[in-house]
């Protein structure tokens, strides 16, 4: 049986980007995390200790997003690395980092990267 946990729409304000203005002004981001893990025991026992705690995922995402990077690709990779290190029951993880209203000389709602590992 495949088990998946999704934490969608983690809203954050961060300072990622290559432009000096992005370092000073910052911008809005949304992060989605999809985890493949075996939570079949937790589904039966109703015990939080037998699954991945969403609070831990949200904390890790927030801490990594608070570390400035030029590229959201770099941030996404750091998030995956930390999730897999701190939550060893994760089999695979997919992280999507969306930058809202990017400064790219056009009317663009967002740009996003998605990494799976």
| Cα 76 from Cα 74, distance rounded (Å) | 5
Q: Radius of gyration over alpha carbons of the chain, in Å?
A: 16
Catalytic residue among 70, 81, 96, 99: 99
Q: Name the percent of the chain in helix, strand, coil, to the closest 5.
A: 35, 35, 30
Q: Is 81 a catalytic residue?
A: no
Catalytic positions, written as ranges: 99
């Amino acid at each position: 049986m495949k088990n998946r946990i999704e934490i969608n729409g983690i809203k954050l304000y961060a300072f990622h980007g290559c432009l000096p203005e992005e370092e000073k002004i910052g911008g809005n981001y949304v992060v989605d995390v999809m985890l493949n893990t075996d939570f079949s025991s937790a589904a039966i026992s109703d015990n939080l200790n037998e699954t991945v705690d969403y609070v831990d995922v949200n904390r890790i995402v927030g801490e990594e997003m608070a570390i400035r990077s030029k590229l959201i690709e770099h941030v996404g990779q750091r998030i995956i690395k930390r999730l897999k290190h701190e939550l060893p029951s994760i089999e695979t993880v997919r992280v999507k980092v969306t930058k809202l209203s990017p400064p790219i000389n056009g009317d663009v709602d967002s740009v996003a990267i998605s990494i799976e590992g």
